[in-house]
Amino acid sequence: MIYVLNGPNLGRLGLREPGIYGSSTYADLVEMCQTVADDLGLTVDVKQTNAEHEMLEWLYRAADEGADVVLNPGAWTHYNYAVRDACAMLRGKLVEVHISNVHTREEFRHHSVISAVATGVIAGLGFDGYRLALEHIAR
């Protein structure tokens, strides 16, 4: 099982700042991740939450299972040490993904507290970043 976890506001894809995030919806993202996983012979559980405690529980479950995680922490990327510490407990791979190129946006988005405990980071490639993360994990 690979967990594809998405943080706050990502459930609003297609409505939220389409000039930055595009017009594809969260349902489109889920479908794409499931299709890519099927093609790679992987099983994924794609989830989104705006609730920190829920994200923490999902990360703890992945840690306990030794599962790999693709994580788009959303705004939690920049300040959420609880999510960072839960990520540090993971025993499988952790690929941090961002749809937009956070390094070309507002200054506060340039730093991630998650990256230091991630296997790798993909930013700015839209939904393709999720595909690349799953391909990396499949290898």
Is 9 assigned a ligand-binding role in the annotation?
no
Is 101 assigned a ligand-binding role in the annotation?
no
Query: Of 3, 26, 98, 130, which one is the catalytic site residue?
Result: 98
Is 78 assigned a ligand-binding role in the annotation?
yes
Is 109 assigned a ligand-binding role in the annotation?
yes
Is 130 among the catalytic positions?
Answer: no
Q: How far apart are CA 108 and CA 91, in angstroms?
A: 29
Query: Of 3, 21, 26, 130, which one is the catalytic site residue?
Result: 21
Is 98 among the catalytic positions?
Answer: yes
Residue pointed to by tokens 């995680």: 69
Is 61 assigned a ligand-binding role in the annotation?
no
Is 114 assigned a ligand-binding role in the annotation?
no
User: Which residues fall in the annotated binding site for substrate?
Assistant: 72, 78, 85, 99-100, 109
Q: Which residue numbers are catalytic? A: 21, 98
In the annotated binding site, the residues are 72, 78, 85, 99-100, 109
